[in-house]
Amino acid sequence: MHNQIFQMTAHKVGFEFSNGLRLFSSLSFTVGSGRYGLLGPNGIGKSTLAKILSGEIPATEGEIHASHPVTYLRQIEERPVQTVGEFLVDIWESSQLDAVTQESLLGDIPFDRTLQQLSGGEWTRVRIAKALAINSGLLILDEPTNNLDREAKRRITEFVQGFDGNILVISHDREILESMDSILEMSNQGMRAYGGGYSFYHEQRTQEIELEQSTLDQLRREKKKTERELHSKVQSQEKRMRRGQIQGEKGGMPKILLGARKRAAQVTLGTINTNESQRAENASADFQSHFAGMRSQTILRLKELDSAVPADKLIFTLADFNFRFAGSDSWLWPENLTLHMKGPERWALTGKNGAGKTTLLQLLLSNGQKPLGEIRGELKVGTLHTSLIDQEYSILNSGQTVLESIMDVSSKGSEWIRNELAAFQFFADRVHQKVESLSGGEKLKLCLAKVFLADAVPELLVLDEPTNNLDLQSLEVLEDVFIGYQGALLVVSHDPVFLENIQTREVCLLQS
């Protein structure tokens, strides 16, 4: 796989489920040697496409031609009951995995450990090493950094950056996408290719969307203009006809001449109707055609939020604080925590998985009452309205509808709520959709609606891994919303780009 010339061409590839539901169609693109990133909205079919490219499942339409076999590494794979050495036994007989790559992936992982004992990042690296030992021309990694802590993400990202073989990474991780040679964007309009990493892609895509929107606005203006002109010309001709009829009758014009004039005027009116109606129809068709050809966008139109917190208001204080779970002999943190948060500050809690970030949030949210265990030192939480958005979207009730979710927290009428929900992309009858049927991105938007349409907007918003499993559009929406939030933010995230974009001011690194 290293330094191997690779070429793959996909021509009008599509996939349809057995029940007739079409996932995607007419995808045409090429993948050559180097590093490629594949991104797109959740549910668009990226993983299904990867299975097709690797030959795991067949496409239902189109053709794929590849110079070498393709290996696909799934996002999630069950761990066999084996040691690392037993799992990797076949790689020693392969010439595909060079010593440098082997060291970068496996150098710190003991071969006598069981696979069940590995962290998520270690398990991913072991699986990559095994996949690289296969003699194929392209390796596809499906969300390799998802749900990993910062250190594990760093190691996977460094491997991808230094790998001299051919690789296609399905990801919404902007750090790993930055190191790609090319980006493939999969959307409702097909596949588009961009030369360069994420920053170049984002700049180009932003310009394209602005141009698309500008053209749409121009076509909308032209459509309205032709409709006004049609209405105006028809009205003017009808007025002339009525005026001519009245003048002819007053002047004693013979009926035969009046009839001829009326018929001529009607012919003129008919010509105006035909010509101007055609212009209006053409303008409307141009508008509709351009709109249909635009990539779908997730946009939230939120009003200014009344969420300001006084600069000196206490959020929480920890003084020589530590915690020990019931039945445990050891304290959670090797050193006691002393932290003081006040006013509209934005803090990010980062650290390895298992470092106690979520536990600390639970203690703060419950004022030390949950989880069960022993507290050392002082924990004090200010008197303030708080909301939590976590990766399970636990503030939502799966049995409720979208509308019912908001009615639970708002005393406003259903008409007002429905109007406001439109800003969160829940239009018309979609407000009656059950929560359990929503996608991850839609649940996120409903969580935001439930927080910001409540009678009391929270003074403290706690976010526990809010970016997991979100596509890039939903990530950008999340960032835009929190930029406008004037309360205090406490965030647990392993995504440094997200933390930078929402302007977190202080990072507390918790080491277990």
How many Å apart are CA 355 and CA 116, to the nearest integer? 19
Q: SS3 for 324?
A: strand
Which burial class, exposed, middle or buried, applies to 4 when counting CB atoms under 10 A from its CB (0-12, 13-18, 19+)? middle
Q: Which residues of 168-206 are buried (b: 16+ CB within 10 A; e: fewer)?
A: bbbbbbbbbbbbbebbbbbbeeebbebeebbeebbebbe
Tokens read off for 135: 């003699």
Of the candidates 25, 2, 31, the one whose C-alpha atom is nearest the C-alpha of residue 168 is 31
pLDDT of residue 299: 57
pLDDT of residue 369: 86
pLDDT of residue 397: 94
How many Å apart are CA 129 and CA 180, to the nearest integer? 20
Amino acid in the structure at residue 45: G
| Residue in the structure block whose two tokens are 């979710």 | 405
How many Å apart are CA 374 and CA 69, to the nearest integer? 56
User: H or E stretch including 102?
Assistant: helix 99-106
Tokens read off for 281: 């129809």
Q: Which residues of 382-403 are buried (b: 16+ CB within 10 A; e: fewer)?
A: beeebbbbbbebebbeeebbbb
**Nearest-10 Cα torsion for 264, 266, 268, 274:** -150
pLDDT of residue 400: 95
pLDDT in tens, 203-235: 998 888 788 777 777 777 777 777 777 677 667
pLDDT of residue 374: 93
Of the candidates 141, 177, 132, the one whose C-alpha atom is nearest the C-alpha of residue 53 is 141
Residues 6+ apart with CB under 8 A from 308: 344, 486, 487
How many Å apart are CA 60 and CA 483, to the nearest integer? 44
Task: Report the residue count for the chain.
Answer: 512
End-to-end CA distance of the chain: 38
173: left (phi > 0), else alpha (psi -120 to 50), else beta? beta
* pLDDT lower than 70: segments of the chain: 1-3, 94-96, 230, 233-234, 237-270, 272-277, 280-281, 283-307, 469, 507, 509, 511-512
Q: Which residues of 407-434 are buried (b: 16+ CB within 10 A; e: fewer)?
A: bebbeeeeeebbebbebbbbeeebbeee
- DSSP code, position 364: H
**pTM, two decimal places:** 0.71
How many Å apart are CA 34 and CA 163, to the nearest integer? 9
pLDDT of residue 240: 67
How many Å apart are CA 115 and CA 122, to the nearest integer? 9
How many Å apart are CA 499 and CA 475, to the nearest integer? 11
